[in-house]
Amino acid sequence: MAHESAAVLPAFLARLAPSLPVVVVDSGSADWEESARVAGTAGARFLAVVQNVGYGTASNRGAAGCETPWVAFVNPDVDVDANALVALCETAGRHGFACVAPRLAASRSGGRPGRVSAPVAAATLPGACLVVRTDVFRSVGGFDERFFMFAEEDDLTGRIRATGGRTGRVDDLVAVTAGGGSSAGVGRRWAVAEREVGRCQLVLKRHGWAGFVLAATRSAVRVVRDPEMVPRRESARQVGNGLRRVVRLRGAATVREDVVLR
């Protein structure tokens, strides 16, 4: 999924296409036409959504036409090549895992080139680079499109485990990310506040209203106390609006019908 990512797409696609079939889904970017040009030059398929629909919704649209046994969801700011993604699929299949991710790091130090051990069971995996068996992804319904950003990968992997699938991390494979490739113009404060909203939404889905009230209270306390929430008025408004959105969408369908492609 790409959002305001035209600047990082050329290097990203050079690492993956044409070795692998790639679908770039632009989610409501102002630079979508440049992204379309870059994707076309690299031989990648390009989809553009008119509005910014968030990570899960855009990822579902990209995966809809996937005909390969595995599907990878990779943010364009992540430095990972085709060989690493293939190795993820192979080691996951060899050891019976339905969903795996590499270790995310700021540099490649610590990885073991040429050696890929079995995945380590993990309940939490980074959505920035995630590989899933296509049949499993579809059988659990893909990403829940009520999530806008953050926690949708935790929801997905939780549903995979609930149906008997295994999820894990492959520490020998390192994906490098400095962040920002799909968050251009989005600051740390915004991300911290939005992550709170996603966490509360996941709690509501898993534990109901009682859990949601406790999680929302914790988020309110964090807005007041956490230095990363400064300016606090903006964070309070963002978290409040986000929680109201979560409540409004509680009974909505998990697949949106209002997504418009360009």
* DSSP string for 78-125: EE--HHHHHHHHHHHHHHT-SEEEEEEESSSTT--TT---PPEE-S--
* Class for the domain spanning 9-177: alpha beta
DSSP 8-state class, residue 171: E
Amino acid found at 3 = H
Output the pLDDT for position 184: 43
Distance CA 155, CA 227 (A): 28
Above pLDDT 90, what percent of the chain? 88
Model confidence pLDDT, tens digit, residues 106-135? 887 655 556 788 999 999 999 999 999 999
β-strand partners of 129: 74
Closest CA to 39 of 58, 53, 18, 63: 18
pTM: 0.93
Closest CA to 42 of 23, 28, 61: 23
List, by residue range, all CATH 3.90.550.10 domains of the chain: 9-177
pLDDT tens-digit readout, 218-246: 999 999 999 999 999 999 999 999 999 99
- pLDDT category at 185 given cuts 50, 70, 90 is very low
Check pLDDT > 50 for residue 180.
no
> What is the length of the chain?
262
Which pLDDT does position 72 carry in this prediction?
Answer: 98
Q: What is the pLDDT of residue 162?
A: 98
Average pLDDT, the chain: 94
Q: Could you tell me the sign of the dihedral formed by the alpha carbons of 30, 31, 33, 35, in that order?
A: negative
Q: Percent of the chain beyond pLDDT 70?
A: 95
Query: In 3D, which of 210, 217, 208, 256 has the Cα closest to residue 240?
Result: 217
Binning pLDDT at 50, 70 and 90, where does residue 178 land?
confident
Lowest-confidence segment of 91-100, 107-116, 176-185, 242-251 by average pLDDT: 176-185
Nearest in space to 167 (alpha carbons), one of 118, 116, 117, 125: 125
